[in-house]
Structure 1
């Protein structure tokens, strides 16, 4: 009886490990078909929040990517290209760490999208940013090319109910009438 329980437990563990390993492949197949959005948190930028003298457009006043973050962002782009995804419509928060992550991924021109800006230390911006982001997403075609949104933990969490680490992303499928469905996470461990 004990041996049977061990085999059953081992089988379940292997099933879940196999399912987890297959998840990125399934998500890549789906995003290659169009009508998908990848919300990705900027690459590694040591620290938390931003300095008191923070100013949009002045990277010297912000928490920025370190060398590890720059390499991580480049490898994320390389990973996509290795999966046959050469380009996407790329938007980023106006924070330098997001813009740099998006540029280093090399998936296409990067457009600033203020709706992706952080509200971590700016709670008054939360609802206006999220309303603008929901409106942006609702206007995107349900069969259009991949959209990559490089943003912050708080924004991703508010839209998808998923918490992510630096360089991690959440894939959503756009639906008709402005709807969207969370499909899963892509964890870029490099």
Structure 2
């Protein structure tokens, strides 16, 4: 699975070679086919396992809103392979190759949406904001540095792996979450 993960993250579903995966794993191509059926089934198994690992790492619904995006960002920084895998999936999704494990993953996003609605109900998120679009924005903000490190570097002079960038970005994400809170009503005398 590790050899397949590296190959798919590097080359995508279409570019990955079963022969390279087998050689790296120290097994025969035939054995890969015995265990996984074909390259698409191996790809789906790799993505399914990796998505499940990421979901369990981000499952705490008691996290304050100000920590939600920074936690996602930190998790994706620890595992840029996952970001690459999902980017490849996005580039190759089609009627022939739908998203892997779409129903279960959609349920996970529904849980994140419920989390945001809960934070809204707790007064941490402005009720006038579209929570679905807020979720999309949080996911984009958390993944952008890992997905587009070259743009981060051009825009800031820092690489996403630089501790100075990480500290500044996490501070920014927390500040942004506070700014998304409902406005405080003016004091009445």
Question: Same-fold call, TM > 0.5?
Answer: no
Higher relative contact order (CA 8 A, sep 6+): 1
More strand by share: 1
More helix by share: 2
TM-score normalised according to structure 2 size:
0.29
